[in-house]
Structure 1
Amino acid sequence: MRGLKNAMVLPKRRKILFVIIALFFSSLVFSWSGHESYTYLVVKSLNINLDRLIQITPYTYNESRIYNMKYYYTDDFAGQRKFFDSLNDGKFPPDPEPVDEKLPAWQILTIYAQFPDFGMDEELNLSPLQSLIGNSQGVRHMRYKLGLIEAFEGDKSFLYFVDMSKQAFSKGDEYWGYRFLSYALHYMEDLFQPYHETPGTFWEVMRSLFDKRTKNLLNNAHYAYDNYLLFLIHYSKHSEEIRELISKTQKRKIPSNYDALINEVMMYGYSKFPEVHAHIKRIMGDILVERIPTIDDFVRLENEGKLDGLYKQTREIIVVMTGTIKGFLEGYLSN
């Protein structure tokens, strides 16, 4: 995929089209729900000992990125449930308090995988592209491809925090090595979500500029699928099966080059969009025009057998996502 630099030199007509589309979606902030629960299941099933206690260390880094510092927490918040997703059941995954200022590596990877959604990427002026979309969180968490238009930098977010993790580990700072790595996992997980690759079909996006029903449907479809992963892990009749699937999925062989790896992730998410989007619209179309589906909606639709097709597609995505992340983590932490 071309980077942001190339996206900024679009031919005039395409650039104008992108400006219109971007402004239309500028109020959206999206991410998979359940990052901490999913990541816990992944890291606890790795063939690596992550039970070893790690000393909490102060933040001593000069970063090249800017953040909304009001939300860029650098203290440790292990054992503080108030930071967890409000849709979570409040019990899983485990979140014990540190003992003697130490906590296990798996816990660092787990609880901080949700951290990039706490506001650090919001209300920023990131680049010239920011004037087009207005939503800095979207810039850093997605990588849109819509026809010939490509924009946003979710891939760069992943690569940035892999590099920060390497820097921390290289100086013997295991706590921040794992913590920065958990941030990187967040962005990789985001890029497996098909709606992080494109907001809708080209013609739907065009129609949404003039039709509020279509706009609402696309916005709420994205939110619905964000929440579906958390629903599967916590509230679905398939929850036990999904947790076991994540735990037992074997690592995949992945590219050794991380640029190639994250590009592969993005293209996979993009390839799954048509099927996922078709299921979401068919199942929830009327609901999506009015609002975001609730957990109760998911339960009802599942009991009526209407989520079977979406479940099958999402199960396939989970297998590929999990195998890829396990391959990445085992390779990265073994070096």
Structure 2
Amino acid sequence: MPSGPILIVDDEPQNLAALRHVLDEHYMLAFATSGEMALEVVAKRQPALILLDVRMPDLDGFEVCRRLKANPALEAIPVIFVTSLADVWDEARGFEVGAVDYITKPISPAIVLARVRTHLSLVRAHRLEKSYRDAIYMLGTAGHYNDTDTGVHIWRMAAYSRALAQAAGWPDEDCKRLEMAAPMHDTGKIGIPSNILRKPAKLDAAEWEVMKTHARLGHDILKKSDAPVFQLAAEVALRHHEKWDGSGYPDGLVGDAIPESARIVALADVFDALTMRRPYKEPWPIEKTVVQIREASGSHFEPRLVELFVGILPELLAIRERWNTQDPA
């Protein structure tokens, strides 16, 4: 279970005892007998979940919940009301102030255990997703640590990739996974010497061969995880420099032999690279960028994806505008 205790809040000792009897064998518990005490315990103990009575003499449960949800450091803690107030109005008010569930007294041990298990499972799932996102953020940032790209580039490009995947008919969950995987496409640049990544002039033939190894390096790093998002990221890292006509690297794959994920990310990456400011160039105008991408249709890019790209260009420009408010690069 998550590391914090379950906090039980009730001003009646017999109610605290009843919940302790149900939960004590399974979970670490903390107790409070008033709303003010509950807020103090939450601040000190960071509970994983709160079972909260409504009618208390100082602060009622609704006010306690409202204050918790108004605090960014505490708002994610799930609150379940445990109360004898069972009418629809009180339930509606409880959900309105931020509770995730509602249990009525007298309690049923089976229901209490089931609700607690369910909501702790949701907490674990949320924390696991956050861990994935943190790892993705770190790997994406590490891949560009020594080159001249700005940090926003990889997240903006990931949003373009998701939009293109949606236009290509991908299921929503797969689109979301691609958006999470795309920022890791250049993870392998961790293994490329900084004098090559930061060279202000064109790379010579030997340097270019070293640079090309980043695709396989990234794949070898990311494939070590069995998680679907990292498996997808490994595929994209290995293949995003392949080209539709077979002139790409590392293996010169042609057409549909290139995974669609990598074809999508390749197009999104080039679009963002051309339209962003870098130390050595100004951003290209959108019209010039579209002409360039159209000219690369059938050589660098899959023609079908180019047409989809043009079709959703207003959506891509809206994404670009949103991200540019965070970083004008």
TM norm structure 1: 0.27
Bigger RCO of structures 1 and 2 (CA < 8 A, at least 6 apart):
1
Larger radius of gyration: 2
